Amino acid sequence: MGIIRLKNVSKFYYSKGIIASGISKVNLDLDLGEFVVITGESGSGKSTLLNVISGLDTYEEGEMYIEGQETSHYTATDFENYRQKYISCIFQSFNLVSSYTVYQNIALAMQIDGYDAAEIKKKVLDIIEKVGLSEYKNRKVSKLSGGQKQRVAIARALAKDTRILVADEPTGNLDSDSAEGIVELLTKISADKLVIVVTHNYEQFKDHATRVIKMHDGKIVEDSGASDTPLISNAVLPLGNRAARTEEQKTKKKRNSIGYGTQLRLGIRNTFNLPAKLLLLLLVFIFVTSAVSAQYVTVKKQGDTVSEQGRNNYFENYNPKRIVVEKADGSAFTRADYKALENAEHVEKLIKEDIIYDTSIYIENNEFSFYGYMMDLASLTEEPTLGGLPEKDDEVVLTGYDDGWSFGDEPKKLIGKTYKVSLNDGTEKKVKIAGIVLRDYAEDEGSDMITTTLESDIYFTDKMIEEMRRDMYASGSTTTMLINSHEVRLTPGEGGLVTNENVPEGYILLPTDYDPEFKEGYAAGKEVKLTAKNLYYEQSLDLMIMGTYGQKTFEKKTGLKNIAEHNGEVFMNPTDYRRLYEKGSFQASVFVDNTKNLEGMKDMLERGGYRALILKDHIYNFMDEDIVRIIQLPLAVVVCLAVFFIAYFVIRLILKSRGVYFATARMLGMGKSPASRIMRVELVIVAIISYALFFAFVYMSRMGIINNEKLMDYVTYLTVRDYVILAVILMVMAILISGRFMRTIFRSSAMGAFREEV
């Protein structure tokens, strides 16, 4: 029984609703050693028969046996294995990879079979010599003549070294001289193989054929010299010899499948050997990279903008550019600290007296009252529109809108008058208005920063602020007096702990109520410990009790008149009082020039020994950032998907030529998974290059080599994590697209893929 047997095999073509018969009810038995020539007029089914035999096309009816094995249950993969193992093809249309060199084309056949590199090299060079192409071995196939191409195709078939060699019109496109050379070459290699040649030019082969099959209308009409005829001259091969040959084939270092290293190398070669295609692919990927990352940046930026519109319960003045700063060791700010903060890059302004910054206060008299944030004069950047800057410590500058409401109809009249400031602890101070900064209401309306902060401020001199800060620390502290191991809570301010110039430093004056604390019945000369404790520090003072005051001694000891107004007050020297409450400033605020610099500034501060709190991160939004993400994210996903689809179709167009490549590789027996991997390597490389280019641009923008606002946004908003995510998205896209592309290629039979692509 022959190596190939066909029993009543039929093949139909379905195209556009019409069924055409390719071959019908063909019976055929082919054996090794035969040189079969199939002839017949055009359209008689020669090619169809050959394609069915070589497993390039499916058949619909009958049975085909390969070495006795029935094939009707064969899958595409089975046929690929069959082709890889048994079949070498030579076509009229050559089916070579035109962007590969002669050497690479021939080597490809062996690589697909999994030979190792050294063996491939030796054999390929040998075969190139044999087909007489030595001087062209490194020339691209696209630059060869038809005869040379056909030689390459034959060389490839030789390299594959299978037992069956099929050739469809191998001389069809050649002049008679070239044709003759090809016929001789085929004859030379046909010795122990089954060679099947389709031709309509029988004359060329008649001297070499052992068997002639004539076809007509899809049927075999003549079959001369069939198997039972003894095999002729050059095809005769003793059986023993054949066995030896099979043995030899087994010992070859053959893995039977293409190695991973080879797949990688082919993928890399395919990426770079068509520069125009590479460039187009790069453009598409760069487009995708920028589109996806732009979406990404938009979403992140959106979140930032939203948080500029929120509010916060702890800090009244929730300017989004504000960072609240403390020393990491909890100490007070020094002049050097202020200087460093003020001069740091991206610092727009520094608020030294931060603790008062969140305090809104009234100044008022009978005619006018004004409400604003307490600010220090050093942070006033504008010149007063009316009046001037303070010359005395008790003078202030007001800023606000010139809307006829803040300052009344005649703001000028307010200047120089005295007003009362009411503070937290109930004390009052007197101030005069030195100047007013009138802001144009319309001017600010267009600004994109919407805040609900007060737009009016009251600027005080350093001296005033220091006093007020001391009062604030005093009222913000828990103050206790330890007297005869008994702890008494004191409240700074009227009715509690107050200052008095008549009390010397180191002493304290108490009401007579404290005398019974001691068993002697009087407190004078005894010691007490005063302790002030607040958020920032704890300070103790050891004082001696100067004495106690009663109804009669009050005026003499304090210099004050009416004891009824000072009921129970504890008096101490102002210097001691300052020791307790004037410990400097423990909290400052810096304002960055742009909210995108907040994170960088926070990092810098923390490295410099400060604690930093970005206020906008601690804000309750009326429109939550999450809500924005919920709206923005699906939108971004939709845009990205659209980009992917566009990219997919463009890439498919660009890769059209790849279809021929993979059909060729399939014809040589390459399976779907190695083919997919080769494709994947190619797209992943392109993705990596595009990503690297994108990264290079962002980096150059960061280094200031190129100046582009859009790119700067990437620099500011993308973190390492984002770059990783972006890389992953690109890789996944490359892999998905290559997968989809390979599925379309492998959907039909090998021949079908050819027909679609060529």
Task: Pick the closer one to ligand ADP by CB: 20 or 449.
Answer: 20
The reply to whether 170 sits near ligand ADP by the rule CB under 6 A is no
Whether 419 and 398 have beta carbons less than 8 Å apart is answered as: no
Q: Which of 10, 24, 44, 632 touches ligand ADP by CB under 6 A?
A: 44
Q: What is the DSSP string of 158-226?
A: HHHT-SEEEEESTTTTS-HHHHHHHHHHHHHHTTTSEEEEE-S-GGGTTTT-SEEEEEETTEEEEEES-
Residue with tokens 């309750």: 620
At closest approach, how far in Å is the CB of 170 from Mg ion? Answer: 12
The interface region with ligand ADP, picked from 43-51, 471-479, 614-622, 713-721 by CB under 6 A, is 43-51
Of residues 47-86, which lie at the interface with ligand ADP (CB under 6 A)?
Answer: 47-48
Residue with tokens 């998205």: 729
At closest approach, how far in Å is the CB of 105 from Mg ion? Answer: 23
Task: Pick the closer one to ligand ADP by CB: 26 or 509.
Answer: 26
The one of Mg ion, ligand ADP, none whose footprint includes residue 15, by CB under 5 to 8 A per kind, is ligand ADP
The reply to whether 262 sits near Mg ion by the rule CB under 5 A is no
The reply to whether 42 sits near ligand ADP by the rule CB under 6 A is yes
At closest approach, how far in Å is the CB of 88 from ligand ADP? Answer: 19
The reply to whether 476 sits near ligand ADP by the rule CB under 6 A is no
What does the alpha-carbon distance between residue 290 and residue 297 come to, in Å, rounded to a whole number?
10
By rule CB under 6 A, what count of residues binds ligand ADP? 13
Alpha helices (runs of H) in 385-482, residue ranges in sequence order:
441-445, 462-476
Q: What is the DSSP string of 519-554?
A: TTS--TT-EEEEEEE-SS-EEEEEEEEEEEE-TTTH
Interaxial angle between packed helices 102-112 and 260-272, expressed in degrees from 0 to 180 and rounded to the nearest 10 = 150
Task: Pick the closer one to ligand ADP by CB: 18 or 720.
Answer: 18
At closest approach, how far in Å is the CB of 270 from ligand ADP? Answer: 28
Task: Pick the closer one to ligand ADP by CB: 19 or 118.
Answer: 19
Q: Which of 182, 193, 204, 205 is nearest to 133 (CA)?
A: 182
The reply to whether 111 sits near ligand ADP by the rule CB under 6 A is no
Q: Could you tell me the CA-to-CA distances from 358 to 111, 316, 372, 419, 519 in Å, in that order?
A: 76, 5, 10, 21, 48
Residue nearest to Mg ion (CB): 47
Q: What is the DSSP string of 293-314?
A: HHHHHHHHHHHHHHHTT-B-SS
The one of ligand ADP, Mg ion, none whose footprint includes residue 20, by CB under 5 to 8 A per kind, is ligand ADP
Amino acid letter, residue 312:
N
Whether 734 and 683 have beta carbons less than 8 Å apart is answered as: yes
What does the alpha-carbon distance between residue 693 and residue 687 come to, in Å, rounded to a whole number?
10
Of residues 16-75, which lie at the interface with Mg ion (CB under 5 A)?
Answer: 47
The reply to whether 13 sits near ligand ADP by the rule CB under 6 A is yes
Whether 65 and 71 have beta carbons less than 8 Å apart is answered as: yes
At closest approach, how far in Å is the CB of 12 from ligand ADP? Answer: 9
Tell me the backbone φ, ψ of residue 61, rounded to 5 degrees: -135, 155
Interaxial angle between packed helices 720-746 and 656-667, expressed in degrees from 0 to 180 and rounded to the nearest 10 = 60
Tell me the backbone φ, ψ of residue 426, rounded to 5 degrees: 90, -10
Of residues 342-361, which lie at the interface with ligand ADP (CB under 6 A)?
Answer: none
Which residues neighbour 244 within 8 Å (Cβ) at sequence distance 6 or greater? none
Of residues 739-758, which lie at the interface with ligand ADP (CB under 6 A)?
Answer: 755
Length of the chain as a residue count = 758
The reply to whether 251 sits near ligand ADP by the rule CB under 6 A is no
At closest approach, how far in Å is the CB of 41 from ligand ADP? Answer: 7
Task: Pick the closer one to ligand ADP by CB: 635 or 758.
Answer: 758
Q: Which of 15, 381, 485, 707 touches ligand ADP by CB under 6 A?
A: 15
The reply to whether 46 sits near ligand ADP by the rule CB under 6 A is yes
The one of ligand ADP, Mg ion, none whose footprint includes residue 45, by CB under 5 to 8 A per kind, is ligand ADP
Interface positions with Mg ion (CB under 5 A): 47
Interface positions with ligand ADP (CB under 6 A): 13, 15, 20, 22, 40, 42-48, 755
